[in-house]
Amino acid sequence: MSNETRTRRLTLACGVLFLITFITSIPALALLQPVLDDPAGYIAGPGADTRVLLGVALEMILVLANIGTAVVLVPIFRRGGDQVLSVGFLTARIIECTFISAGILFVLGIVTLRHDDPGAASLATSLAAMKDWTFLLGPGFVCPLGNGLILGILMYRSGLVPRRLALVGIAGGPLLTATGLAVLFDIVPAGGVVQSLATAPEFVWELSLGVYLTVTGLRSSVRGRTAPAQGAPLAAA
C-alpha cells in the first residue's frame, strides 16, 4: 500500500471518528439532563434509568472515538517529523477521556443511589457537581488545548487541511481554555454567554475538520506525497 493511499485512509478514518464524537456527545448531554439538572429529585422519583444509561453508552462510544482520532493521525504526523506534538495530541486526548470516564462513573453513582439509597439527596447533588467539574476540566479545558491548539498546529504544518481552517483551531483552542480558567475561578458563569461564544470557534473547527477529512480528504496540493517535514514550507491554502 502506497503512503498516499495509507494516508488517505487514515485521514478518512479520522474524519469519520470526529463526526462520531458529535453524533454521540450532543445527544448524550441531552439524555443525561434528568440526572444533572435535579439529581436529588431523580433519585427520589421514578427515575429515567434507560434514558440515562443510553446517554452513558453514547459517552463511552465518545471516549473511544476521541482516542481513535489521535491514534489514526499519529502515524501521519510522525512521518512528517512532528513526533513531539503528535504524542502531545494523543496524550491530551487520553487525559480528556479520563475526565469524561470519571464523569460517567459519577452519573452511574447517582443511578445506583436511586436504587440503594433514595434519601441520599446531598450525595447525589455532590456527584452531579463532580460530573460538571469533569466536563469543565476535560472537554472545557484539556480538549481545546489538544484538539484546538496542538491539532491545529499539526494540521497547519502537514497541509492536510487549508491553512485558514487550521487557524480557527489554533485560535479557538486557547480561547476556550482561557474561558474555562475564567469559569474555574468564578470570573464568568459556567454555561453563560461568554463561555458559549468562546465555544463557537472550537465547535466550528472540529465539525469542519471532521467534514473536510471525511468528504474531501487530502488537499489536491498534497496528493502524491507524504506530509512535509516539520518546518517545511506549505502550499498556499
Spatial distance between the Cα atoms of 130 and 82, rounded to a whole number of angstroms? 36
Please indicate, yes or no, if residue 229 is contained in any of the structural domains: no
Please indicate, yes or no, if residue 7 is contained in any of the structural domains: yes
Please indicate, yes or no, if residue 232 is contained in any of the structural domains: no
pLDDT computed for residue 6 by the predictor:
80
Please indicate, yes or no, if residue 30 is contained in any of the structural domains: yes
Q: How far apart are the first and last CA of the chain?
A: 28
pLDDT computed for residue 152 by the predictor:
96
Please indicate, yes or no, if residue 235 is contained in any of the structural domains: no
pLDDT computed for residue 35 by the predictor:
92
Please indicate, yes or no, if residue 237 is contained in any of the structural domains: no
pLDDT computed for residue 1 by the predictor:
60
Please indicate, yes or no, if residue 143 is contained in any of the structural domains: yes
pLDDT computed for residue 217 by the predictor:
61
Number of domains in the chain: 1
Residue-by-residue pLDDT tens, the chain, 237 positions: 667 778 888 888 999 999 999 999 999 999 999 899 999 999 998 878 999 999 999 999 999 999 999 999 998 888 878 889 999 999 999 999 999 999 999 999 999 999 999 899 999 999 999 999 999 999 999 999 999 999 999 999 988 899 999 999 999 999 999 999 999 999 999 989 999 999 999 999 999 999 999 887 644 334 444 444 444 433 333
Domain span holding position 99: 3-217
Spatial distance between the Cα atoms of 71 and 222, rounded to a whole number of angstroms? 21
C-alpha angle 205-217-208 in degrees, rounded to nearest 5: 15
